[in-house]
Amino acid sequence: MFSLNCKGRLLCSEKPVVMGILNITPDSFYEGSRLQSTELIISKAAQMIQEGASILDVGGQSTRPGAESINAATEKERVIPAIEAIRKTFPDIPVSVDTYHASVASAAVHAGADMINDISAGLLDTAMIRTVAQLQVPFIAMHSRSTPKEMQQHTNYANIITDLLTFFSQRIQVMESEGIRDIIIDPGFGFAKTIEQNFELLQQLETFSIFKKPILAGLSRKSMIYKSLHSTPAQALNGTSVLHTIALMKGAHILRAHDVKEAMECIQLTELLKTKARS
């Protein structure tokens, strides 16, 4: 289905995979995901790998709506020791770093990370695209607008699908012209989008297969789930599984998830359904 060159090691998969979320932050929107010690990080990483995660995504700052940005130095202090510990303990698992700072991306890759996950697709730090091209690692390019603090003030679209298609077409052209070979696209559920726009995006997710790039869906426990159900992030696991299933049926290749076991079950069942449909 897709392959990624992770610093000389190929991540190849004939079916969708799960990216486990490791938040090295004190303020992520889902309290249950906050990890504040190396022991907790390694324990959670081990659990995610055992449950079937193919990639671990390490983030050092919250990018929830309204979140204040932190500087690159603080972010490095959080993520670099975590990445080094994960790489030492689990040498074979691909590790992604969730950052929009080019200097953090570079330091993380040198510490052992294999790919970069940027919520701004390289727009919040003009050095990012050139840095990723030099590092020759896969790049997850997400759609958003402005910064996390202000993004929900920027939800006006002429047509959200065509606007995002234009966005990715332009960003892919820039990335490929700079020499980035492995690009994953993430439509950015919850980033500069209303709840209604998030559901429209999910409804038409297969549209983005036009780019012939792996599609990442970041739906886990987000507000489009818990606000729609009048609940909380802690109560949003069942809703997450529902939307994960829909995303898989509409062409998602990677599920970025807090709950690896449940996301893997979504993949296993949808793959069985697809196999039955082909027989």
**Distance in angstroms (rounded) separating the CA atoms of residues 251 and 15:** 10
Length of the chain, in residues: 279
- 70, exposed or middle or buried, with CB in 10 Å at 0-12, 13-18, 19+? middle
3-state secondary structure of 165: helix
Task: Answer whether 112's CB lies under 8 Å from 72's CB.
Answer: no
Cα 5 to chain centroid, rounded: 17
Instruction: Please list the active-site residues.
Output: 222, 256
**CA–CA gap between residue 177 and residue 188 (Å, rounded):** 23
Q: Kindly report the number of other CB atoms within 10 A of residue 93's CB atom.
A: 18
Cβ contacts of residue 43 below 8 Å, gap of 6+?
A: none
Give the pairing type, strands 55-59 and 139-142: unpaired
CB atoms under 10 Å from CB of 275, counted, come to 9
CA distance 267 to 222: 19
